[in-house]
Amino acid sequence: MSRAAILHGGRRAGSTAAALLAALALGIAPAHADRSGARHATAVVASTGESLYRSICQGCHMPDGRGAAGAGLYPALAGDAALASTEFVALTLLQGRRNMPAFGGPPDPDPFFNPNPPALNDEQIAAVVNYVRTHFGNRFKGSISAAQVQALRASLPAR
């Protein structure tokens, strides 16, 4: 078996093409390299909190926000008291947490986990934060704006 087949669990190129088609259907553009060979984070077309959650988050946190356990532990968003803080949720999306990748871009390439998680802009981060705080039985007051996400992003140490 080739090295590429081993790294991809023995899958053939057809499964890679299927994954690419699925990502495009979800509104996620593939990562690309520029002439210098630098890889760029994938771009996300979705803009509402619900569409972003469905295209990026529900694969781990499940459609009902109740999380899952199996090959990994994917925490529930439903009834999570930590969601009371808009800053906590925004920083989690920007920087990642534990095994959750950072969606603030640019990503840290890791070929064995998620080499290019989608990069969300400030408006998209705010939309997801506000969505998960008001759905799945959550009824937290207040919201976060794109300007507040931008300020949080600017306060983060450079990577």
Cα gap 58→144, rounded to integer Å: 21
pLDDT score for 44: 66
pLDDT score for 22: 40
Q: What is the architecture of the domain spanning 43-155? A: Orthogonal Bundle (1.10)
Cα gap 118→59, rounded to integer Å: 14
Where along the chain do its domains lie? 1-30, 43-155
pLDDT score for 83: 96
Per-residue tens of pLDDT for the chain, all 159 residues: 443 333 334 433 343 333 333 444 444 444 443 333 334 445 567 789 999 999 999 999 999 999 998 888 899 999 999 999 999 999 999 999 888 888 987 645 555 555 566 789 999 999 999 999 999 999 999 999 999 999 999 998 876
Reduced 3-state DSSP string for 44-80? ECCCCHHHHHHHHHHHHHCCCCCCEECCCEECCCCCC
pTM over the 0.75 mark:
no
